[in-house]
Amino acid sequence: MDGVNSLFSGSKTKQQQAEIEKLQSENATLKDENHSLKTEMQTLQKEYQTTTDKLRTELRKIYDLFPNLRELLSIERMCRLVGFSDDLTKRILSGGKVGFKGSLYSPEYKRKFSTEHSVAQIESEPTQPGKLRLAIDGVDVIEWFRMKYREFQRSVGIDWAERNVVRGRKM
């Protein structure tokens, strides 16, 4: 009985020992891979940082050369937000007066307002020299939407002046 047990247990021990050696080998391989990946990741992080620094430097140069660029980018975002097409946005940003008709979306009122004929352009901000704004029909785009909203309210029977007096505001 002891002899038979030793035959089976010896075989089992050998199997377990072989499995342990295999797992140790896999573990060593994974440690090497992990080390290689960490090294590669550090290299990529350094490259990323270098590239990012170069791009930031270039962007600072561009902003210095074109001081109104930030404002133009802001106006471009506003054009897209309110619903101007890419073509109209490009024409507006090129500095000309652009006639249009259709609907524009107001994020403030969360609705579209229609116009049969309006003109959009970039103008200097009257209260802040050197600053630019998007103007529609000669007024700031935000004020244009407010005027359109007041027109809408009047069309549905809400008197703007009466509404403000009731709330304790003066016109």
Q: Which two tokens stand for residue 154?
A: 């009047």
32 and 88 share one domain? no
Mapped onto helix, strand or coil, the DSSP state of residue 171 is coil
- CA dist., res. 14 & res. 9, Å (int): 8
Residue 171 resides in a domain: no
Confirm if 82 and 111 have CB atoms less than 8 A apart.
no
114 and 152 share one domain? yes
Q: pLDDT tens digits, residue range 58-90? A: 999 999 998 889 899 999 999 999 999 999 999
Q: Which two tokens stand for residue 34?
A: 């992990």
102 and 147 share one domain? yes
In degrees, to the nearest 5, what angle opens at C-alpha 76 toward C-alphas 75 and 77? 90
Amino acid 171: pLDDT: 46
The residue range of the domain holding 26 is: 1-65
106 and 143 share one domain? yes
Residue 30 resides in a domain: yes
Amino acid 14: pLDDT: 75
Segment 1-15 mean pLDDT: 62
Listed in sequence order, the DSSP H helices in 83-159 are 86-93, 141-155
Domain count, the chain: 2
